Amino acid sequence: MCGIAGMISLIESINRVDRVQKMVAALSHRGPDDQQVLDCHSVVLGHARLCIQDVSEAGRQPMVHQSGNWVIVYNGEIYNHMELRDRLPPYPYKSSSDTETLLHALEVSGIDVIKSLNGIFAFAAFDVRNNRLLLVRDRFGVKPLYMAKGQDGLFFASEMKAILAAGFPRVPRLDVLKNELIHIWVNGKDTPITDIERVMPGTILHIDLNNLQIHEETWYEPANSIDMELAEEFSVMERPQIVKKVEEALYKSIRCRLGAQVPVGVLCSGGLDSSLVSAIAAKEAIPLVAFNASIPDQPELDETHWAKLVCQKSKLPLSTVPMTKDGWRRHFVRSVMHFEYPLVHESSIALAMITKQATQEGIRVLLTGEGADELFGGYGSRHLRERSRFHGTIFEEQPNTKKPLLSFLDQGNLPSMRDYERNAFESAFHAYAHHDGDRRALEAAIASDLRIFLPHGLNRKDKNTMQHAVEIREPFLDPDIVKLALNLPVEMKVYPKLKGVLLDVASSHLPMEVINRPKIGFSFDPSIYFADEMRKEALESGYLRDLLEVASEDWKQVVRSATGRTLFRLWSTEMWCRLFLEGCTVEQVEETVWKT
């Protein structure tokens, strides 16, 4: 994995190379092996390299095609790139990197080649002949990409901090920030910084370098993988046949994601999804190490026992990282800096601690179970109305009589967020037109999670692991598995338990104690690790209170009443404001918020 950056400006007097050099420096944690900048006149491209596939100098970027027609900066992994090479016309490749394969494919087929890529990626490709820049993001947005348009020109980068490093204004979007405090995450293009937008998953931005006009094209929509004929084929299959198909697809996906010229490991929390990935990966003839985080202070929530059972059965060494106050002190502020938003979930700190340990053990790639819950309906707390109607039970929505602590900030979801989420559901609902009634509604609700809920986890995983230059790979998001899952009978997902078909697959690979245990999820009360260690006055009289324009005494009451995740969100938002709006360093914020 790597970091990419670039700038386009029609103002000749601006030193674009200097700006992009600063952007690349801000991404050095994503690419510690090499940093390069190339002035292509129309656009300046920058790259911070993390060597995974081809560790030689021949894989350096920015990379120019022999014809001179294409220049690329690329972040990601294309798992089928050698297959693509075999189908392309002969070319004098200088490396074995997937970047060079993609570069030649663009020369031969243009941007149409994107649909044939099986991988995770974000890249910028300069089409010299047409004087345009293409910004492209993978199907589900595993790899991040941001774009900003300001007075000096257009900027893009793997992370927002790189755009800010180029001198882009640090102006907050207060409506977005409030939304994140209340609703945890904001879907769609909006970010908490004015005029910085996400490049959306499965999209291509065509940028005309003559006038900076932008045309957005959707190249992948999950609902387009819903296939009536395939669904009919599955509907008449016996359950064991379907289980075998899922297992074979998962084997194939894991096998191709184990390919790397650096050591590989697995994240094994002890939950079903990561345990299944770990167990199948262990059957391949390569050395692997499993990693997990323990919660010794909250043993009822600690899944380490099950992770040990999985690893013992699979003969995998398990490296366990315990949650501690000292660990939180070292990683809390830094994780906010790398996540680039107020933290969504306490697991961000655990991910940072695990990947630091992985780096110390020489691991640069980790496989994970991300995506299985969204594909196979594993979130029992979501879509309760649709689930109850499908099961023929009565759904009674329980009124929330307790007023949330931060409800005074709630202005409802942003219109852009409502539109995005409505579109995600309607696209899936339309695609399931071959089904009726409650079945169709439940299938559409589960499928819409690929656009509504999945991005939270993917963003958290990438940002908090790449701070230690560790690449995350998600076998469940292989296009073949996605298409299979979206067309399975919904009964395979909800009977006899949630993710029923994965439980059936797991019966051949995991201990029954792991299969039959209740789902916990990596959740815990984070406040025990930091609440008593922080200077309350830094939050009570900090940047966030001023930004929200809350009266001093009212805000003190909020802070003193906050517990658990609410306190966690308040502190991480305060840290975010100091880091991204004030421009403080991690060390400056740590000195301010932690007690000595």
When the pLDDT of each residue in the chain is averaged and rounded to a whole number, the result is 92
Return the axis-axis angle of helices 415-431 and 437-452, rounded to nearest 10°: 130
3-220 CATH pick, 3.60.20.10, 3.30.420.40, 3.90.550.10, 3.30.70.270: 3.60.20.10
Tens digits of residue pLDDT in 54-67: 667 777 889 999 99
CB 460 within 8 A of CB 352: no
pTM: 0.94
Q: What is the pLDDT of residue 552?
A: 92
C-alpha separations of 189 from 144, 227, 419, 420 in Å: 12, 28, 11, 9
**Domain extents in the chain:** 3-220, 223-392+417-516, 526-593
Domains 3-220 and 223-392+417-516 share a fold: no
User: What's the mean pLDDT in 226-254?
Assistant: 96
- The H or E element containing residue 516 is helix 512-516
Q: For tokens 């293009």, what's the residue?
A: 189
Q: What is the pLDDT of residue 57?
A: 77
Q: What is the pLDDT of residue 111?
A: 94
Tokens of 139: 């199907």
Tens digits of residue pLDDT in 405-434: 777 776 666 788 889 999 999 999 999 999
223-392+417-516 CATH pick, 1.20.1730.10, 3.40.50.970, 3.40.50.2300, 3.40.50.620: 3.40.50.620
d(Cα 223, Cα 426) in Å, to the nearest integer? Answer: 9
SS3 589: helix
| Torsion-angle region of 570 (φ positive above 0: left; ψ -120 to 50: alpha; else: beta) | alpha
Tokens of 421: 């989420």
Tens digits of residue pLDDT in 17-38: 999 999 999 999 998 888 899 9
User: What's the mean pLDDT in 109-133?
Assistant: 96
Under the banding of pLDDT at 50, 70 and 90, the label for residue 285 is confident
Q: What is the pLDDT of residue 403?
A: 58
CB 52 within 8 A of CB 77: yes
Q: How many CB atoms lie within 10 A of CB 330?
A: 16
Tens digits of residue pLDDT in 305-324: 999 999 999 999 999 999 99
Q: What is the pLDDT of residue 460?
A: 87
Q: What is the pLDDT of residue 191?
A: 95
Q: Could you give the percent of the chain with pLDDT greater than 70? A: 96
Q: What is the pLDDT of residue 521?
A: 77
Q: Could you give the percent of the chain with pLDDT greater than 90? A: 78
Backbone φ and ψ for 294, nearest 5 degrees, come out as -105, 160
Q: What is the pLDDT of residue 409?
A: 76
Tokens of 72: 């690329």
d(Cα 58, Cα 49) in Å, to the nearest integer? Answer: 12
Under the banding of pLDDT at 50, 70 and 90, the label for residue 396 is low
- Does residue 260 register a pLDDT over 80? no
Residues contacting residue 133 through CB under 8 Å, at least 6 positions apart: 6, 8, 42, 43, 124, 125, 126, 127, 207, 209
Pairs from 398-403 (Cβ < 8 Å, separation ≥ 24): none
Q: Higher pLDDT residue, 557 or 344?
A: 557
